[in-house]
A and B are shown apart, each in its own frame.
Chain A
Amino acid sequence: MNGLMAGVLYALVALGFVLIFKASGIFNFSQGVMALFAALTLVGIMEGRVPFSHLINAVFGTSVHHFGWNVPAFAAILLTMVVMVGLAWLVNRYIFRHLVGQEPIILFMATIGLAYFLEGFGDIMWGSDIKKLDVGLPQGINSTIDEITYNLLGYGFFIDNLDLWATFVAILLVIALVLFAQYSKHGRAMRAVADDHQAALSVGINLNFIWVMVWSLAGFVALVAGIMWGTKSGVQFSLSLIALKALPVLMLGGFTSIPGAIVGGLIIGVGEKLFEFIVGPMVGGATENWFAYVLALIFLVFRPQGLFGEKIIERV
Chain B
Amino acid sequence: MSVMDQETHVTPDGRTIGGVLMEMRNISLRFGGVKAITDISFDIREGEIRAIIGPNGAGKSSMLNVVSGFYIPQEGEVWYKGSVRPQMRPFEVARQGIARTFQNIALFEGMSVLDNVMTGRLNHMTTGLLSQAIWKGKAEQEEIENREVAEKIIDFLEIQHIRKTPVSRLPYGLKKRVELARALVAQPSLLLLDEPMAGMNVEEKEDMSRFILDVNDEFGTTIALIEHDMGVVMDLSDRVVVMDYGKKIGDGTPDEVRNNQAVIDAYLGVAHD
Interface residues, chain A, with chain B CB atoms under 8 Å away? 183-186, 188-189, 191-192, 194-196, 198-207, 213, 310
Which 7 residue pairs across A and B have the least CB separation, nearest first? A204-B94, A199-B106, A195-B108, A201-B90, A185-B125, A198-B106, A204-B123
Chain B positions within 8 Å of A189 at CB level: 119, 122
A204 to B123 CA separation, bound complex (whole angstroms): 6
A202 to B139 CA separation, bound complex (whole angstroms): 23
A55 to B111 CA separation, bound complex (whole angstroms): 51
Interface residues, chain B, with chain A CB atoms under 8 Å away? 68, 70, 89-92, 94-95, 99-100, 102, 106-111, 115, 118-120, 122-123, 125, 127-129, 132, 139, 143, 182-183, 186
> Which one of A189, A192, A202, A310 has the highest number of Cβ atoms from chain B below 10 Å of its Cβ?
A202
Chain A positions within 8 Å of B95 at CB level: 204
A198 nearest in chain B by CB position? B106
Q: B102: which of A184, A200, A202, A213 is its contact (CB, 8 Å)? A: A202
Q: Given that A196-B109, A202-B106, A310-B110 are known contacts, is A188 also in contact with B94, CB under 8 Å in the complex?
A: no
Chain A positions within 8 Å of B127 at CB level: 185
Task: Report yes or no: B111 in contact with A191, Cβ–Cβ below 8 A.
Answer: yes
Report 19 cross-chain contacts, Cβ distance below 8 Å, ordered by A residue.
Answer: A185-B128, A185-B132, A186-B129, A192-B108, A194-B110, A195-B111, A199-B107, A199-B108, A200-B108, A200-B119, A202-B90, A202-B102, A202-B106, A203-B122, A203-B182, A204-B94, A204-B122, A205-B122, A206-B89
A188 to B115 CA separation, bound complex (whole angstroms): 9
Chain B positions within 8 Å of A200 at CB level: 91, 108, 119
Task: Report yes or no: B108 in contact with A191, Cβ–Cβ below 8 A.
Answer: yes
Q: Given that A191-B111, A196-B108 are known contacts, is A202 also in contact with B100, CB under 8 Å in the complex?
A: yes
Q: Given that A198-B102, A199-B108, A202-B99 are known contacts, is A192 also in contact with B119, CB under 8 Å in the complex?
A: yes
Task: Report yes or no: B108 in contact with A202, Cβ–Cβ below 8 A.
Answer: no
Task: Report yes or no: A201 in contact with B122, Cβ–Cβ below 8 A.
Answer: no
A-B contact count (CB 8 A): 82
A200 to B132 CA separation, bound complex (whole angstroms): 21
Chain A positions within 8 Å of B92 at CB level: 204
Task: Report yes or no: B139 in contact with A184, Cβ–Cβ below 8 A.
Answer: yes
Task: Report yes or no: A207 in contact with B109, Cβ–Cβ below 8 A.
Answer: no
Chain B positions within 8 Å of A188 at CB level: 115, 118-119, 122
A198 to B120 CA separation, bound complex (whole angstroms): 13
A179 nearest in chain B by CB position? B133
A185 to B107 CA separation, bound complex (whole angstroms): 18
Least CB distance from A69 to B in Å reads 29
Task: Report yes or no: A203 in contact with B119, Cβ–Cβ below 8 A.
Answer: yes
Chain A positions within 8 Å of B115 at CB level: 188, 191
> Told that A188-B115, A196-B109, A201-B90 touch, could you supply 16 new A-B pairs with CB distance under 8 A?
A185-B125, A185-B127, A188-B119, A188-B122, A189-B122, A191-B108, A195-B110, A196-B106, A198-B102, A199-B119, A201-B94, A202-B106, A203-B123, A203-B182, A204-B92, A204-B123
Least CB distance from B141 to A in Å reads 13
Chain B positions within 8 Å of A195 at CB level: 108-111
A213 to B110 CA separation, bound complex (whole angstroms): 21
Task: Report yes or no: B123 in contact with A202, Cβ–Cβ below 8 A.
Answer: no
A195 to B139 CA separation, bound complex (whole angstroms): 24
A198 to B122 CA separation, bound complex (whole angstroms): 15
Chain B positions within 8 Å of A194 at CB level: 110
Chain A positions within 8 Å of B108 at CB level: 191-192, 195-196, 199-200
Chain B positions within 8 Å of A205 at CB level: 91, 119, 122
A256 nearest in chain B by CB position? B110
Least CB distance from A180 to B in Å reads 8
Chain A positions within 8 Å of B89 at CB level: 201, 206
Chain B positions within 8 Å of A184 at CB level: 129, 132, 139
B109 nearest in chain A by CB position? A195
Q: Given that A191-B111, A195-B108, A195-B111 are known contacts, is A202 also in contact with B129, CB under 8 Å in the complex?
A: no
Task: Report yes or no: B120 in contact with A203, Cβ–Cβ below 8 A.
Answer: yes
Least CB distance from B52 to A in Å reads 18
Least CB distance from A90 to B in Å reads 20
> Which one of A183, A199, A200 has the highest number of Cβ atoms from chain B below 10 Å of its Cβ?
A199
A213 to B130 CA separation, bound complex (whole angstroms): 13
Least CB distance from A192 to B in Å reads 5
Chain A positions within 8 Å of B119 at CB level: 188-189, 192, 199-200, 203, 205
A201 nearest in chain B by CB position? B90
A204 to B129 CA separation, bound complex (whole angstroms): 16
A205 to B129 CA separation, bound complex (whole angstroms): 14
Task: Report yes or no: A203 in contact with B94, Cβ–Cβ below 8 A.
Answer: yes
Chain A positions within 8 Å of B139 at CB level: 184-185
